[in-house]
Amino acid sequence: MANVVLSATGLNAYFGAVHAVRDASIEFREREVTAIIGPSGCGKSTLLRCLNRMHETVPGGRVTGRVEFHGQDLYGPDVNPIEVRRHIGMVFQRPTPFPTLSIRDNVAAGLRAMRRADRPPRADVDRIVERSLQDAALWDEVKDRLRTGAIGLSGGQQQRLCIARALATSPSVLLLDEPTASLDPISTQKVEELVYDLRQHFTVVIVTHNMQQAARVSDRTAFMLNGELVEVAPTNKLFTTPSDPRTEAYVTGRFG
């Protein structure tokens, strides 16, 4: 069985007085894709954002419980959230390229934010940009216009650019928050194929409201409802023989 890279134990997340994630415990295994599904507002994005300490950047955001990354508690007293986010990359629902930067500089943006000691030498940046764009299956489409603005790309290309940007800093875990929610079907398919391939090198957690997508791309699936993690199981099992009746009701389309 694969190693557990990232895990949450007794995790609670709040927005002010709202209790968005309740006592969630889940493991994410090395080089697997784990999907988190559930109806809108069930807390799946919030759970994801607790894993790289993004939740606390929202005003009123608060987290209790443990998140372990290679055995280290990310919410421990000596942990710097900036470092956490360098090792656990994230891609959002809407593509967020930096509009004033070129394609190349967008991919290199995370390198620029690294500590001087960790930052790759200038000469390596172009190589890293190329590798990241290839990993994000975008290289062939943009290799002739790396110096042009990222804003000229289509929505699907922008999203793959954001994935390339997240990959450039060599994270070991990639968090994807409904990465295809704003994309057309063809772009969605490309991103899904990409997610499927990313498991060769990365541990991926993908939040999606699309059950078919979860079934297509993931090895394991977690089902959330009203802030509670109802069931985590191999994707095949969760969709065919779920053990919790609420999961069954959801995957068979009886609500949500």
In sequence order, which residues have a C-beta less than 8 Å from that of residue 66 and are 6 or more positions away?
8, 9, 10, 11, 73, 75
Which one among 54, 63, 146, 194 touches another protein, defined by CB under 8 A?
54
Judged by CB under 8 A, does residue 128 bind another protein? no
* Amino acid at residue number 12: N
Query: For another protein, what does the binding mask look like between residues 139 and 158, x meaning CB under 8 A?
Result: ----------x-x-------
Name the segment binding another protein (CB under 8 A); options: 23-31, 86-94, 122-130, 214-222. Answer: 86-94
Residue 98, Cα to own-chain centre: how many angstroms?
A: 19
Judged by CB under 8 A, does residue 206 bind another protein? no
240 CB-side CA count, 13 A: 5
Instruction: Tell me how far, at minimum, the Cβ of 48 lies from another protein, in Å.
Output: 11
Name the segment binding another protein (CB under 8 A); options: 80-88, 136-144, 181-189, 244-252. Answer: 80-88
CA-CA distance, 12 to 28, in Å (whole number)? 17
CA-CA distance, 128 to 130, in Å (whole number)? 5
- What is the CB neighbour count within 10 angstroms for residue 237? 13
Which one among 44, 86, 160, 220 touches another protein, defined by CB under 8 A?
86
The radius of gyration of the chain's CA atoms, rounded to the nearest angstrom, is 18
Pick from 174, 103, 156, 110: which is nearest to 133 by CA? 103
Beta carbon nearer to another protein, 112 or 237: 112
Which one among 38, 61, 89, 179 touches another protein, defined by CB under 8 A?
89
DSSP label of 102: B
Instruction: Tell me how far, at minimum, the Cβ of 58 lies from another protein, in Å.
Output: 9
Q: Which residues bind another protein (CB under 8 A)?
A: 52, 54, 57, 82-83, 85-86, 89-92, 94, 96, 98-101, 109-110, 112-114, 149, 151, 162, 165-166, 169
